[in-house]
Structure 1
Amino acid sequence: MTTKPILFNGAMVRAVLDGQKTQTRRPVKLGDFPATHVKYIDENQHFQLMPPDTFVFSYFEEKTPVEVFHPIAPQYRKGTVLWVKETFRLHGGTDECGCGGDRCHCPPEGTPIYRADMDDGESKWNPSIHMKKQYARIFLEVTSVRCEKLWDMTSKDARKEGTTHPERFFGEWYVIYPEEDNPFVWVYEFKRCEKPEGWRS
C-alpha cells in the first residue's frame, strides 16, 4: 500500500471531518511545453506502451506541424492512502494549563492540537507543511483519478469539494494558483479510511 502526504487548509479539514468533502483538485504540472497549445488526449487508451494510470497530453511544435505526445502521471493514484498535513501545535502541558484546582482537563504534554478544531488567536501554530506523520489524524483513500480543465467543474463537483458553487471554488483557487485562468487539473475522489496497518512515524 502506497501512502503519501497531502496538504489541506483549515476549511478543507473541517469539510472532510464533517463528511462534506470527498474530492480535491490539484494542478497538472505540464513542464516546459506551451500550455496554450496543449490538449488532453486520454487516460492511456491508445498508448499501450505507457505505464498504467498515465494520462496522455499533446501539443504542436510552434516551428513544425508535428504533434508531440507527452505522458504525465498524477501524483496520487487509485488506492493511494493520503495522510493529511494540517496546521497544528503540541500541547505545552503544565506551562499552558489554566484549569486550576485538583482536576485538570488538559491533554498530556506533547499531544497534537489542530487549528481546524480550535484557534484562540494567540497560540503559535506550526504550518501544515511541517507536520510529521506521527501527528496525522486524517487518512483518505483515493478511489478515482481523472483529468479535466478547471472550468469543467459542475455544481455537484463543487459540493464534493465542500463548497456551494463552482464560482466560489474558483475564487479560492485563484488565491493559491493565480498563474493560469483555466488550467488542467487532477481531480482526486477519496473516502475516509483508517490509519494503515503498521503505520509508523
Structure 2
Amino acid sequence: MKELPILYSGAMVRALLDDRKGQTRRVINPQPKMVTDGAILPWDGDPAALLRLLQQSKRPCPYGQPGDRHWVRETFVAFGRWETRFSDKKKRDEWHFVDMTLDLGLAYRFDGAALSASRRNGPIPEWHNRPSIFMPRAASRILLDITDVRVERLNDISCADARAEGAETYLYECYDFDYKVAPELANYRRIWESLYGTGSWDANPWVWVVEFRRITDLVQ
C-alpha cells in the first residue's frame, strides 16, 4: 500500500468532509494516441482496452491503485517565520518559510481564517496562511482509501458520477445553461473549467477516474 498526496480546492475539501465526494477525475498526460491507416490520431477505442494498454506500457495511474491511499493537501495555516536563503539555481536570495508548528508542539489550524501575517514579519514567528502544495503529511486531516481506477472521456461522466464528484444538484443563475443538461452535469462542468480553464470541457480529454472512500475510523 502506498500513501500519495493529492491537492483539492476549498470547495472540494468541503464536499469530502460532507461525504458528498467519492470520485476525482484527473487528465491523462500525455493524451493516449492510436495508429489508424498509418496516421497517429487521438485514442478513440474502448476505455477498458486503453486501461490495459496503459498498464502494459508501464503507464499506470499516477494517482494510485485500489488499496492505495490519498492524503489530502489543502490550504492551511502554519506557525512559523520567514527568512531569506540564497538560491544556487536562481543566483539570488529567495524567501523561505520555516514551519515551526510541530517543533513547538502546536497543532495546525484549518478552514483558514484570513490572517494578516506576511513575510515582512521576518524572524517573528506567527500564524501564516499557506498554499496547499506546501502542506506536510502531519498536517493533513483527510485520508482517502482508493477503491477503483478506470479511464474514460471527460464528457462521458454520468449524472450519478457528477454527484459523486461533489457537484451540486441545483441550478446556479446563468444565461448560457442548456436546459437539456442535468444541473449536476452543468455544475461539474463549471468545477472543471474553474480548474483547467475555459474550453477545457469541450476539449473532452481522456481522464483517470479514481474512486475512493473517506477513512473516518482511524485516529490520525
TM-score over 0.5 for the pair: yes
User: Which of 35, 42, 45 is the aligned partner of 1:37?
Assistant: 42
Which letter maps to 2:107? T
SS in 1 for 2:186: helix
CA distance in 2, matches of 1:151, 1:31: 15
CA distance in 2, matches of 1:43, 1:33: 15
- Tell me the number of residue pairs that the alignment of Structure 1 and Structure 2 aligns: 162
> 1:168–1:31: structure 2 CA closer, same or farther, 3 Å change rule?
closer
User: Which of 164, 170, 189 is the aligned partner of 1:160?
Assistant: 164
User: Which of 148, 151, 158 is the aligned partner of 1:147?
Assistant: 151
Per the alignment, residue 69 of structure 2 pairs with 81
Per the alignment, residue 132 of structure 1 pairs with 136
SS in 1 for 2:70: strand
Deviation at 1:42, TM superposition (A): 4.5
User: Which of 106, 109, 112 is the aligned partner of 1:110?
Assistant: 106
Under a length normalisation based on structure 1, what TM-score does the superposition of the two structures give? 0.68
CA distance in 2, matches of 1:155, 1:31: 24
CA distance in 1, matches of 2:12, 2:106: 25
Deviation per CA, 1:68-89: give whole Å up to 9, x if none: x966311111111100011101
Unaligned runs of 5+ residues in structure 1 are: 46-53, 58-68, 93-107
Under a length normalisation based on structure 2, what TM-score does the superposition of the two structures give? 0.63
Unaligned runs of 5+ residues in structure 2 are: 35-39, 81-103, 118-127, 169-183
> 1:87–1:55: structure 2 CA closer, same or farther, 3 Å change rule?
farther
- Aligned-residue sequence identity (percent) comes to 33
RMSD of aligned alpha carbons: 3.1
Which letter maps to 1:162? G
> 1:19–1:196: structure 2 CA closer, same or farther, 3 Å change rule?
closer
Deviation per CA, 1:116-154: give whole Å up to 9, x if none: x34346564110001111111110010001110111111
Per the alignment, residue 176 of structure 1 pairs with 195
Which letter maps to 1:134? A
User: Which of 90, 110, 113 is the aligned partner of 1:119?
Assistant: 113
